[in-house]
Structure 1
């Protein structure tokens, strides 16, 4: 296996194929990358822009290219001593559409399908008529409206009859109904004609309605999912259905092709997506290590709470590094500014809940709405356990639902890892804390309810309970806690608390304003000791803002008084148009404009990019708009205001003076961030284009077209500059290539360089590395004298960060 020094993430889709990736190999080699890190390559839903909606584990996605083209890409890499890491999705599959043969078989045969147990489906829901049925919430209107409008049609193909919704979603009918149709009408064409009504005339569709009523599926409006979904989803995405990867037959099916590629020497590592969605993450990872044909690099997408460490007993090389990106942002955000930044926000927006309270409220909100069905299903499982023994038979399902709702909202980690025998002490502490806080918050709930919840989750119930029911309840609680945290905190609260949105990222909590130099050193030493090959990520396909967007926005903390005066001036400049925008949304927009204004190049496409980012932010915040019920008038008002803002001459006279000041600070922060990522313990991952200034907004903006030709041309130019991030990245990657043993195995020694200068040394044998970074707002820390005093290391570089190494 090629030694892993640095990875480069590429987002594959129909517009960026294996062939496109192969064309980049010379550029990535000259940049200094050792491994190309690809988004999922297995067959996904047609037109997928991300690949996380796998529909066939046995086939490479034809929209990306053929297996031969994938092998050609790998060959081109291996000729340069480079390799491939793949993103793999074990938690769920894409459903809907017409491409997932496993899902279509389940729709056709119901509980009797050979794949019925491969998906997490509850075939026994309480709603009358739903026994043995699967809810399919893919309609854009009510079922009755879709039927009357002619949006549902009976068709036939080589697989038999199926009802098609909007000509896109295929819903096969039962085999016995196929036979009955052919017996009655004589041919497929005659049957289709007989069951096709006239659009706009509801009564003319009665025969099709009668056929649909007898199927193993119930077609419904997408909003029904929140209340009645009966299969496990990825978060709240109904078109991503959870699979039972803990079953040996599912594991075997899902990994056959991936293992074959590994066995052929084509793949050096895997990134496991959403490991917390699995019933037994540790068991899955152990099985993966055992079954993988040869040793591979293995990292997991695991979101860690600020106080949480990756499990030492998981057989992985580390996480995908989201937590390290959050640390770097906070390291570059001065603690002394917190009060001033908070005051500026409150004066502009008004009083509101603190970040922790906001996250708590948003978790409750998502359980009352988008995840209501999942919470009810969990309460039903807990009630089943309670009712199986006389000691707890008086507990009610509704009472357990209320207690579970509050406990999930109080949980401080994404999930715990216990089974019916208990878990590690840290799991017990997290559960006990959450239950205690829930009980304090909801004293009207009878104490025995919380006692039961705590005992069940900690594996300490007395004898007499059904162990299988206990295991199901514990497992589902842990599979739900992650979505509650993700949708409540990441995808709602982080779009509401806009004090300093550089802090609002995946793996970060906005109440953690800053990180001390000492805490940063401590984190690096722990990583070197436990997971020295952990990935380090500063921009990813998941981040809400690119790393340099964040760096510039965080410069607000270096000049809070300048910022405070500026936003008040801008609001005055843009009145009365800005008065139609809620102050919290306006405050977010001002930060996005500052952070996203290009450091280099024109701002021609900025308006459309800002509009897309703001509309998504409004819907994620779920206050003045929402994904389910779009406030299109308000969204249009915000979009119109963006056009007005970017055309306002008076505004720009004031804007650019502040923008230049903050951008100068942010540029220095971006260079420090890049240098630290490439020198601290771990494997740096560079998201597509982030070797240069990365000023994306939330997806899909971070998947927009990238001019790799221009980057390659700049990299080939023999011109350097103190603020050229691309060349800094190239030079440090070259250093990683030259001093591979030092970066893989070298020590990490913090240096005391004063309150505003970060310094550390790394050594391996005779090789040494010294890194010094000026964290002061004015770029005034005495780096040069410090470097001069440390004469065991030679070489230098200009700018806010110095990296000196042995020749």
Structure 2
């Protein structure tokens, strides 16, 4: 294994291929990274912009180029002493469309398919007519409307017949039906004619309707999935179906190509996507390590609660670094400003729901809506256990559903990790706290329901009950908790609680305002001791906002009075007849996004459209004044119109530029400190595509915009005075990491006391030494002391951060 020194995330798709990545290698080498960290490369659904919808684990995505192009990329990197880390998705596959052969086989053969048990499908339904059927919720209109309109068509497919929905989703017909149709009608053409009606005449489609009724699938409107889905999904995405990678045959199939790439020496590491979605994360990782053809760098996407540590018994090198990004912005957020920031938010928007209550209610909301079917299925698993013994036979399925709903809403971590060896004391404690809080919150729920659920989850139910049924129920519970937390907290509550959205991101908890210098040092020491090459991330493809947007917005805490005066003035300027035209919470978010997103370069030509997209997505994620399933198009239009009008209002723009200038100056200093710390603390820093420069992207798809790498390369080649500060800083420190690789991988980490307004530390290995000093004073402009007789790598008299390194 080539130990990673620093990685660079690349988003591959048909517009940025293996060949494009190969052409970028000289730039990456000049920048100073050691590894290209690639988004998923296995075959995905056509046109995929992200690659997480794998449809075939046995081949590379042809849209990214042929296999030889991938091999050429790997070899080109290797000639420069560099390598590849791959993002890999073991939890789910892309379904729907016409490209996943495994899924199509299941649709065609139902429970008899050789792949029926590869997906997490419940073939037994209480709904009449659904036994042995797979729900397919991909229609944009109801089934009846789609059928009558002619959106469903029978076509020959070379192996029989298939129904095509909107010419995009293929649903194969059972082989026995195909044979019978040909025998009866004599030719495929006659079969098609008989089963084709006239658009707008429902009765003319009766033959096709009768044929569809006999199939192993039931085609429905997409919204039906929330209530009746019978396969495990990735969160609430019905076109991403969970796979049972814990099965040996599935594991072997899913990893065959990846292992061959590793064996050939083309891949040095894996980033495992959504580790919490797996039935047994630890078991999966142990199997992966044991079967991998050679040692690799291995990190997992794991979102840790503030009080949660990464498990030491997982055989991994660390996480993808979300928690580090949260710590970095918090240590730069001025704690003394919290009372005023909170008061200003409440004064602007009115009554504010505390974040912990918002999260609780949002988790309940997602369980009652988008994830209702999964909760009902979970309750059935627990009811089956209860009904198997007289002592608990009185417990009802509905009662167990209510108890489970409340316990999950109260759980403070993404999931527990009980497996065949039992449950750790930490997991038992988390479950115990959740059950206790649920009892206090919902006193009308019978205590014996909580007793039973707690006993099942805690492994104390007793020997009379079927251990396999218990293991199945606990496994389902654990796989369900993650999506509830993700959708309730990350994708809903974080879009409602807009006090200071610099703190609202994946891996962060915005009620935890600031982080002390002492706590920051402690976190770095623990990482160095336990996972010294864990990844460090400040921007990712999952970020709600780019790292420099967050730094700029965090400046509000340095000058909350200035901010309060400014937003009051802006609000008055943009009001109509003295009234807000959009909700004050949305207006407060918009002002923050404008502060963080106004380009440091000054080129704001496309800012309006980007802001409009970010605001609409924020509205739908918050699910208060619009939603994904049922959009309030009138309100969304009001918001996008408001953005447009604001950005052509010269009076507002003049006020914005004048009032925000000191905040933006402070925010840019925070951004430089953030970048310097990430590149010097223990761990492996990851640079998200383009984030070596100012990263001011909004939430995806904005953060997937093309990067002008040619312009970045030209700027790196320019004389020093013409370079951008962040680009200088990033390149300087990445190249320093290359020159002093041992210092960064093995060197000590020692906190240095330089007073309350300076964050300082020293790293040493033999004669090599690094000293970093960051100015944490108000506005980051108090100046820094000189404490080391070492050459300056980066810093200036007015700069907020000094980096000195050399030999003592």
TM-score for the superposition, normalised by structure 1: 0.99
Equivalent residue, structure 1, for 2:385: 385
Equivalent residue, structure 2, for 1:116: 116
Confirm whether residue 499 of structure 1 aligns to residue 513 of structure 2. Answer: no
Measure how far apart 1:575 and its partner are: 1.4
For the 8 Å contact 2:6–2:684, the answer to whether it is kept is yes
1:194-230, Cα deviation, whole Å (9 max, x unpaired): 1000000000000000000000000000000000000
CA–CA distance in structure 1, aligned partners of residues 111 and 541 of structure 2: 37
Equivalent residue, structure 1, for 2:647: 646
For the 8 Å contact 2:383–2:395, the answer to whether it is kept is yes
For the 8 Å contact 2:790–2:804, the answer to whether it is kept is no
Q: Which moved more, 1:748-757 or 1:613-622?
A: 748-757
Equivalent residue, structure 1, for 2:340: 340
Secondary structure (helix, strand or coil) at the match of 1:510 reads coil
Equivalent residue, structure 2, for 1:410: 410
Secondary structure (helix, strand or coil) at the match of 2:62 reads coil
Measure how far apart 1:752 and its partner are: 1.3
Secondary structure (helix, strand or coil) at the match of 1:561 reads helix
Superposition pairs for residues 170-569 of structure 1, below 5 Å? 170-419=170-419, 422-569=422-569
Equivalent residue, structure 1, for 2:708: 707
CA–CA distance in structure 1, aligned partners of residues 524 and 509 of structure 2: 20
Measure how far apart 1:792 and its partner are: 6.4
Equivalent residue, structure 2, for 1:797: 795
TM-score for the superposition, normalised by structure 2: 0.98
Measure how far apart 1:685 and its partner are: 0.2
For the 8 Å contact 1:420–1:459, the answer to whether it is kept is no
Which segments of 5 or more consecutive residues in structure 2 lack a partner in the other structure? none
CA–CA distance in structure 2, aligned partners of residues 193 and 739 of structure 1: 73
For the 8 Å contact 1:137–1:220, the answer to whether it is kept is yes
For the 8 Å contact 2:503–2:509, the answer to whether it is kept is yes
Task: Indicate how the Cα distance of structure 1 residues 793 and 711 shifts in structure 2: closer, same or farther if over 3 A, else same.
Answer: closer
Measure how far apart 1:793 and its partner are: 7.0
Secondary structure (helix, strand or coil) at the match of 1:251 reads helix
For the 8 Å contact 1:760–1:771, the answer to whether it is kept is yes
CA–CA distance in structure 2, aligned partners of residues 794 and 505 of structure 1: 34
CA–CA distance in structure 2, aligned partners of residues 634 and 792 of structure 1: 58
For the 8 Å contact 1:420–1:474, the answer to whether it is kept is no
Q: Which moved more, 1:577-586 or 1:162-171?
A: 577-586
Equivalent residue, structure 1, for 2:135: 135
CA–CA distance in structure 1, aligned partners of residues 213 and 783 of structure 2: 77
CA–CA distance in structure 1, aligned partners of residues 551 and 722 of structure 2: 19
Q: Which moved more, 1:255-264 or 1:633-642?
A: 633-642
Equivalent residue, structure 2, for 1:47: 47
Measure how far apart 1:430 and its partner are: 0.2
Task: Indicate how the Cα distance of structure 1 residues 794 and 537 shifts in structure 2: closer, same or farther if over 3 A, else same.
Answer: closer
CA–CA distance in structure 1, aligned partners of residues 388 and 20 of structure 2: 59
Task: Indicate how the Cα distance of structure 1 residues 796 and 608 shifts in structure 2: closer, same or farther if over 3 A, else same.
Answer: closer
1:363-395, Cα deviation, whole Å (9 max, x unpaired): 000000000000000000001111111211111
Secondary structure (helix, strand or coil) at the match of 1:579 reads coil
Measure how far apart 1:795 and its partner are: 5.9
For the 8 Å contact 2:673–2:800, the answer to whether it is kept is yes
Secondary structure (helix, strand or coil) at the match of 1:406 reads helix
Q: Which moved more, 1:245-254 or 1:182-191?
A: 182-191
For the 8 Å contact 1:420–1:467, the answer to whether it is kept is no
Equivalent residue, structure 2, for 1:623: 624
Measure how far apart 1:797 and its partner are: 2.2
Measure how far apart 1:782 and its partner are: 4.3
Task: Indicate how the Cα distance of structure 1 residues 631 and 545 shifts in structure 2: closer, same or farther if over 3 A, else same.
Answer: same
The CA RMSD over aligned residues, in Å, is: 1.1
Q: Which moved more, 1:258-267 or 1:420-429?
A: 420-429
For the 8 Å contact 1:92–1:241, the answer to whether it is kept is yes
CA–CA distance in structure 1, aligned partners of residues 69 and 659 of structure 2: 49
1:683-740, Cα deviation, whole Å (9 max, x unpaired): 0000000000000000000001111000000011121479610111000001100110
Equivalent residue, structure 1, for 2:757: 756
Number of aligned residue pairs:
804
Equivalent residue, structure 2, for 1:737: 738
Secondary structure (helix, strand or coil) at the match of 1:580 reads coil
Which segments of 5 or more consecutive residues in structure 1 lack a partner in the other structure? none
CA–CA distance in structure 2, aligned partners of residues 420 and 59 of structure 1: 34
Secondary structure (helix, strand or coil) at the match of 1:686 reads strand
Secondary structure (helix, strand or coil) at the match of 1:118 reads coil
For the 8 Å contact 1:417–1:427, the answer to whether it is kept is yes
Equivalent residue, structure 1, for 2:70: 70
Measure how far apart 1:4 and its partner are: 1.1
Equivalent residue, structure 2, for 1:611: 612
Measure how far apart 1:653 and its partner are: 1.5
